[in-house]
Amino acid sequence: MKRILRAWLLLFCLLPLCGCMAKIEINDQVFVLSLFVDMDKDTGEYKVTIASPLPNRLSSGEQAGSSGGQGEPFSLADSSGTSLPLAVGKLQRQMTRKLDFSHTRVIVVGSTMAEAGMEELFNWVLRERTLDFSTFIMSSTKQAKDVAELEPVFESLPSTVLMRFAVQNNLLGTTLKECLSAYLEGTGFALSQLNVKDAKGTSNWVSVGNIQLFNDLQAKATLNEEQSKVTSWAIGRRNTPIYRPVYYVTWDGGKSKASVLMTNSKSRQQITMTPSGPVVQLKLDGTGDVLSLEDDQQREATETNKLIIQELKDQLHEDLTASLRVSQEAGADVLGVGQLLEAKYPHLWDKWREDWGNHYKNDIEFQVKLHIKIRNTDM
């Protein structure tokens, strides 16, 4: 009996020495960190661009974005095809290693494809088993390939720049999971846009843009900067709002002014049924610090505080109301009102689900309530 126990113990000790049992070795893989998808407006062909790191050119001791004279520490490769899988297949045949999308964290969609519709992309996403649904997805004001050629000033890889935009909440960090859920439920979603500017040399400068509204996987409208900030705040139930936005208010005919940094912002949505139909209450709570203040009449701090709060409330209410109007005209339910309706009034949702875009536009009423606190006025 002791001999049998010793044999089993020896076997368990040898198991960790068996080595890697994976079918594909790491050295035989190309890890795709970001994916850029475009569509040709004339031919309808899809163009896929991937960005992957080159480990032999990465060095921890080098300056961010520097390649130490050996070339860039990343590689861009692209291919085109009449379908997205065909373009990916052509790209694979150009590679000496197998494409691996398990490390993909950012997908950027070009403006032409966003306007035409992203059904082809999401059909491929649902069937690509290695792709993580927590991957961030963004749109571009130009072609996605232009974003891929950005200049990574503070980072070593362009993919890292885009990912940090999302994880630091510099923009609305929408994921594939959220887009797929909205699409399957028949509601809409919002994506952050990336602005591309031509820089010196061959690289581009990419900055955070506004929010684009989608319905049926197709871009329907784009909000302006102020509407984008407050809409991100309102979507906060499902997503993290844009980090610490700054608002500028004036009064006394423009002679008095203040800048306010919102350090804390929350939102709540509630739906109730009235004789006229469903009413959605949007409650926005926020705390802000005064960064700069010029009061023309040198009022007391308490009086100035009330004026700033009222002006800020009026501005936020106007921007959010305008944003909701745009979303309803586009039929893009980016706030997830359909989910609220399904949870509380499932029978009505079953009745409206097939034509939810029209019902969201014509039968839903919004009520906006704001609760704002201001600090550091007396400084």
How would residue 205 be classed by pLDDT, with cut points 50, 70 and 90? Answer: confident
Residue 64's pLDDT band (cuts 50, 70, 90): very low
pTM assigned to the model: 0.84
- Torsion sign across C-alpha atoms 137, 143, 144, 149: negative
For residue 230, give the nearest of 216, 241, 214, 215 by alpha carbon.
241
Q: Where do the H-state alpha helices sit in the chain?
A: 2-14, 84-94, 111-116, 119-127, 144-148, 158-167, 176-185, 225-234, 301-330, 337-344, 346-352, 356-362
User: Which burial class, exposed, middle or buried, applies to 17 when counting CB atoms under 10 A from its CB (0-12, 13-18, 19+)?
Assistant: exposed
How high is the pLDDT of residue 282? 93
**Residue-level pLDDT at 24:** 60
Which residue shows structure tokens 């329907």? 220
Strand partners, 74: 53
Comparing 147-151, 174-178, 351-355, which segment has the lowest mean pLDDT? 147-151
92-148 pLDDT, tens digit per residue, is 998 888 888 988 999 999 999 999 999 999 999 988 888 999 999 999 999 999 998
Residues 6+ positions from 259 with CB-CB distance below 8 Å: 246, 247, 248, 290, 291, 292, 293
Q: What is the mean pLDDT of residues 48-55?
A: 86
Residue 67 binned pLDDT confidence (cut-offs 50, 70, 90): very low
Find out whether 303 and 186 touch, Cβ atoms under 8 Å: no
Topology adopted by domain 236-378: GMP Synthetase; Chain A, domain 3 (3.30.300)
Q: What is the dihedral of CA 154, 158, 159, 164, to 10 degrees?
A: 30
Residue 120: closest CA among 178, 60, 40:
40
Q: In the block, which residue shows the tokens 């407050």?
A: 230
CA distances 300 to 149, 296, 307, Å, are 53, 12, 11
Residue 68 is predicted with a pLDDT of: 46
Domain borders along the chain are 27-55+72-223, 236-378
Tokens of 293: 């203040």
Residue with the bigger pLDDT between 340 and 3: it is: 340
